[in-house]
């Protein structure tokens, strides 16, 4: 296959220019800028399009096993491919929990048969995600798990988290942590502040999250474990992560599109599609997310894609579940709200959605280097479209962005040299 006349952007090598790219046997075989690659191959005209390393999302809820009514392997990996993602990493808070080697192997086998986006599996750090007994991390890694996490079941006991990190460090497994002190946040449903007071809803104080980022960062320094902080949402979290990095802490961090382009005012009218944890914060926090991405304090962008059935979100705000759809709007929200206002270059955005996620979890991909796997995203950076949740490939239609006009649209997703979305 030859991709002709596209703008080839590869943050891993500094390439940014118009040219051709050739794929052979599932690998990147040749890149030629300013010229034409000859050969008898299937060709795709990419004039006006960007050709870049496949996007990678390291924080996705695919709901399998046990919650297939929200999302299943086919719809989730299909949604990823439609969003331009060549690979996603799924979280372990399923039914049953992904805390054993057979579950990991089953998921990987079934994902390979789908021939859509690649799947990487994140195992639970404790059995049943009960934060009482360590999961068999060695077995999980042996079965193919790439990291462990407590996402949605936050570890409150510092001693237990130390033990988790000691074992994870020994196995060279990153720990992906949802940082929240539930003794402060218990019962909260949105950002603690003026809007919550007006709506009469219990708030989630930012301090509950910030103090846990500091605790876990210090434990990472103590144990040498690679800590990855999930879904950063507050200004002070960014400042704490910047401080910890200055001390040499082995820490990386992510934020999601909703945290730079929405505030807690999106919850007005008791809009449950704007309910998530961590919650939407303030304009100042949005600006901090942008600056954190710009200066590298925040290493990558991840969606925290969390699909729910419509009837689950169609409840009173306090009892509706947390979470929003993310895979099919992420790239466009980055282009519209980060690249167009010139906060980030297009290359920088691609780096934080592809090269950086691959580096953080040690995954193949994230590069167009000759000889590397041909996981490639092709997108139109100028395409204008309106978000229609009913058109999502995902089963989850729960998005606060319905009706928004965005710029930037994936047009082709290639995994291992095969087109999985066009």
Between CA 291 and CA 344 the distance in angstroms is: 10
Tokens linked to 202: 């219990």
| Interacting residues of 313 by C-beta distance below 8 A, sequence separation 6+ | 272, 273, 320, 321, 398
Say which of 57, 304, 375, 380 is annotated catalytic: 304
From 15, 45, 46, select the one nearest 32 (Cα to Cα): 15
Burial 89-110 (b: 16+ CB within 10 A, else e): bbbbbbeebbbbbebbebbbeb
CA dist 214 → 125, 191, 220, 237, 244 (Å): 20, 20, 10, 8, 8
**Is 304 an annotated catalytic residue?**
yes
Distances in whole angstroms, Cα of residue 142 to Cα of each of 61, 102, 161, 225, 356: 22, 11, 22, 19, 24
* Strand-pair partners of 328: none
3-class DSSP assignment, residue 126: strand
Helix axes 73-82, 101-114, angle to 10 degrees: 60
| Whether 136 contacts 100, CB under 8 Å | yes
Contacts 24+ apart (CB under 8 A), 37-40: 37/2, 37/4, 39/2
Distance in angstroms (rounded) separating the CA atoms of residues 224 and 3: 43
CB atoms inside a 10 Å sphere around CB 35: 9
**For residues 133 and 68, what is the distance between their CA atoms, to the nearest angstrom?**
27
Distance from C-alpha of 79 to C-alpha of 420, rounded to nearest angstrom: 11
CA-closest candidate to residue 217, choices 200, 204, 236, 203: 236
Q: Which two tokens stand for residue 302?
A: 């991840």
DSSP, collapsed to helix, strand or coil, labels residue 343 as coil
**Residue positions annotated with a catalytic role:** 304
């Amino acid at each position: 296959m030859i991709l002709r006349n596209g703008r080839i952007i590869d943050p891993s090598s500094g390439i940014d220019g118009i040219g051709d790219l050739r794929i052979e046997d599932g690998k990147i075989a040749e890149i030629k800028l300013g010229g034409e690659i000859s050969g008898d191959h299937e060709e795709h005209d990419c004039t006006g399009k960007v050709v870049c390393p496949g996007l990678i999302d390291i924080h996705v809820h695919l709901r399998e096993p046990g919650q297939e009514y929200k999302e299943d392997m086919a719809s989730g990996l299909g949604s990823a491919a439609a969003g331009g993602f060549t690979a996603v990493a799924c979280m372990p808070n399923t039914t049953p929990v992904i805390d054993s080697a057979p579950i990991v192997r089953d998921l990987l086998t079934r994902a390979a048969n789908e021939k859509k986006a690649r799947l990487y599996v994140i195992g639970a750090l404790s059995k049943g995600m009960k934060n009482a007994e360590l999961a068999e991390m060695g077995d999980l890694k042996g079965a193919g798990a790439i990291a462990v996490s407590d996402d949605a079941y936050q570890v409150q006991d510092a001693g237990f988290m130390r033990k988790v990190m000691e074992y994870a460090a020994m196995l060279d497994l990153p720990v992906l942590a949802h940082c929240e002190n539930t003794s402060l946040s218990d019962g909260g449903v949105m950002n603690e502040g003026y809007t919550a007071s007006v709506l009469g809803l219990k708030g989630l104080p930012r301090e509950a999250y910030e103090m846990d980022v500091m605790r876990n960062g210090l434990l990472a320094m103590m144990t040498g474990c690679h800590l990855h902080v999930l879904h950063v949402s507050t200004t002070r979290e960014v400042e704490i992560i910047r401080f910890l990095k200055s001390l040499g802490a082995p820490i990386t961090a992510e934020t999601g599109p909703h945290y730079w382009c929405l505030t807690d005012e999106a919850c007005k009218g008791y809009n449950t599609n704007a309910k998530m944890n961590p919650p939407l914060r303030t304009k100042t926090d949005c600006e901090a997310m942008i600056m954190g991405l710009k200066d590298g304090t925040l290493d990558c962008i991840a969606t925290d894609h969390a699909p729910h059935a419509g009837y689950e979100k169609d409840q009173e705000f306090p009892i509706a579940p947390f979470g929003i759809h993310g895979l099919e709007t992420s790239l466009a929200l980055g282009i519209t709200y980060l690249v167009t206002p010139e906060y980030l270059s297009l290359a920088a955005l691609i780096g934080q959605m592809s090269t950086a996620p691959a580096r953080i979890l040690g995954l193949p991909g994230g590069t167009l280097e000759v000889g590397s796997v041909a996981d490639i995203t092709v997108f139109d950076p100028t395409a204008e479209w309106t978000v229609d949740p009913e058109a999502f490939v995902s089963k989850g239609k729960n998005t606060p962005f319905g009706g928004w006009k965005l710029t930037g649209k994936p047009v082709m997703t290639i995994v291992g040299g095969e087109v999985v979305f066009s």
